Structure 1
Amino acid sequence: MEKTIIIDGKEVAFKSTGALPKRYKMQFQRDFFSDLMTMESIVGKKKPSVQDIREIDFEVFYDIAWCLAKAANQSIPDPLTWLDSFSEFPIIEILPELQDMLAMSISSKKK
């Protein structure tokens, strides 16, 4: 699945592939599925508490966004350099745009 969204006035392509969990692990030395499930249990609540919000590790979302962007464009630089190329990167607005891609990465087509 591929999607292009505008961030800080720039078109940014994102792509979800089967390599997403491996790319994430290779780059960040953390397990993609564990991180995603931990965040999903908090973000998925209809009314997260203040404590829930305090527990959100937004770094996970930035890291996932970078992996999705890297899959779409192999020429993007390391995560920090890439994020520095934006004067703003509103993860709260970007995350909903990427949710379908993340859902597909953990779902099965088998019925």
Structure 2
Amino acid sequence: MEKTLTIDGKQVPFKSNGAVPLRYNSQFNRSFFKDIMGMVGDPNAVAKGKKVEIDVMKIDFETFYSMTWVLAKTANPSITDPMTWLDGFEEFPIFEIYPELQDMIMSTLQSAKKK
């Protein structure tokens, strides 16, 4: 899954694929899946194969910034470390970015149905 967003007047590509959880774990020394599950409204829904969404009241913003960077790094391997990359934006409207990337993040938890 790929998407390009305009952030602070810049076109920023994002990409989700099978490497995202490993890239996240490697960069931040944290469990991607554990961090996502901490933000999901109903973690039991994942086990039942239901569509789940991130509960905005449970968002850990440090985790969300980290996940945003990983999706950007996956789309563009030449971007800098997370702090330097974020420093490149005067504005980073997290409440506008979050809904746009939620499906990409959640797609790592849900498998595609076999036909």
Q: Provide the TM-score with structure 2 as the length reference.
A: 0.83
Structure 2 contact 6–12 (Cα < 8 Å) conserved: yes
Whether 1:69 and 2:72 are equivalent positions in the alignment is yes
Cα deviations across residues 44-93 of structure 1 (Å, max 9, x unaligned)?
45xx7xxxx4x642000000000000000011000000000000111111
Cα deviations across residues 5-42 of structure 1 (Å, max 9, x unaligned)?
00000000000010010000000000001101111238
Show structure 2 runs of 5+ residues with no match. Answer: 43-52
Any runs of at least 4 consecutive aligned residues in structure 1 with deviations exceeding 6 A, and if so which? none
SS of the residue corresponding to residue 74 of structure 1 reads coil
Alpha-carbon shift at residue 105 of structure 1 (Å):
1.1
Q: Return the alpha-carbon distance in structure 2 between the equivalents of residues 13 and 7 of structure 1.
A: 10
Q: Return the alpha-carbon distance in structure 1 between the equivalents of residues 27 and 41 of structure 2.
A: 24
Q: Provide the TM-score with structure 1 as the length reference.
A: 0.86
1:44/1:15 Cα in 2 relative to 1: closer, same or farther (>3 Å)?
closer
- Corresponding position of 2:45: none
Aligned-pair Cα RMSD in Å: 1.8
Q: Return the alpha-carbon distance in structure 2 between the equivalents of residues 22 and 81 of structure 1.
A: 21
- Corresponding position of 1:6: 6
Q: Percent of pairs identical after alignment? A: 59
Q: Return the alpha-carbon distance in structure 2 between the equivalents of residues 56 and 98 of structure 1.
A: 13
Whether 1:35 and 2:38 are equivalent positions in the alignment is no
